[in-house]
A = this chain, B = another copy of it.
Amino acid sequence: MNDRIREILSWYNSENPGIRTNLARMLNHGRLASTGKMVILPVDQGFEHGPARSFAPNPAGYDPRYHFQLAIEAGCNAYAAPLGSLQAGAADFAGDIPLILKCNNHDVLNDEKDPISALTAGVEDALRLGCVAVGFTIYPGSAERTEMYEQLRELTLEAKSVGLATVVWSYPRGSSLSKEGETAIDVVAYAAQIAAQLGADIIKVKLPASKVELPEAQKVYQKYEIPISTLTERVRHVVQSTFNGRRIVIFSGGATAADEQVFNEARAIRDGGGFGSIIGRNSFQRSQEDALKFLGTIMGIYEGSTK
């Protein structure tokens, strides 16, 4: 194991060797192995948005095994999915790629203003399926956030005790936030901090926009002239807000975007000190051939990282 991976693992030295082992399994897997960067394939859109919205663009994706194969062939560090999807491939692909079991999920059949995801899996499932981590989504800003934080606290406590890593999707949403506020730089940085405080080992947030949502925060960003005008600067601020870079924080681009935009975002993540990308729809909603090329380009960007 090289020094960079050892350095990253040293940030987790209050955790047991099991957690560090599982973090190492992800960091040392795939094309980006030992770079300290990660590209993770997540596929929970079937649950979150419905099957046709998710898989009609590339019907191969209706088969859960497709996504295992895609992640493996692309050389992703890990593959993340809900219980059903993982169960549909865990046996066939046992040992081929680190798995993250997404333990809560939300559908849009009743899209409330203050959402909360349902607990759909847990630590026993993750162990049974050979996963390296559990995943969990929180919606800071939702009136239901207290319930979610407490569910995450229970999940994390149990996961830590059996040496599983915890990956938290921290997505601000809820009646008290404007739509733009969900990706405002202050809100995204806050969401990353909350996930870190709740004990997350790996944190996933959306790429932040330059807007500042909260008036009290705005005063501070202005007074201290925190640089947030470029995406690279904003990534750097989020990394700083995540224990000054001592927790792995990765970024998602959200909905489908033009390839070049995604590549530029990856460059900004890389240059801002981010640890990588979690890319779902942009990769599995195109043909496998295109997806492999697309993901390859992104990984190439991260390989060029000086750190």
Contact = CB atoms under 8 A, between A and B. Distances in A.
Nearest to A23: B95
A305 interface: no
A292 B197 CA distance: 26
Contacts of A87: 14-15, 199
Contacts of A51: 189-190, 192-193, 240-241
A143 B118 CA distance: 12
A176 B121 contact: no
A146 interface: yes
Given A5-B95, A14-B129, A17-B94, 11 more contacts: A14-B89, A18-B131, A19-B130, A83-B153, A107-B145, A109-B174, A109-B176, A110-B145, A118-B149, A122-B153, A124-B161
A111 B145 contact: no
Given A25-B95, A84-B243, A146-B117, A108 B62 contact: no
12 contacts: A16-B16, A16-B129, A17-B128, A20-B95, A21-B94, A56-B220, A83-B153, A84-B198, A88-B243, A112-B143, A119-B149, A120-B198
Given A9-B95, A130-B18, A243-B84, A122 B157 contact: yes
A237 B51 CA distance: 10
Interface in A124-180: 124-125, 127-131, 140-143, 145-147, 149-150, 153, 157, 161-163, 172, 174-177
Interface stretch (A42-50, A258-266, A295-303): A42-50
A194 B83 CA distance: 10
Interface in A57-109: 57, 59, 62-64, 82-92, 94-96, 105, 107-109
Contact of A153 (B15, B120, B192, B246): B120
A289 interface: no
Contacts of A146: 116-118
Contact of A109 (B117, B157, B177): B177
Contacts of A277: none
B176 A111 contact: yes
Nearest to A88: B243
Given A50-B217, A217-B53, A145 B118 contact: yes
Contact of A197 (B49, B57, B105): B105
Nearest to A196: B84
B18 A143 contact: no
B128 A64 contact: no
A229 interface: no
A199 B145 contact: no
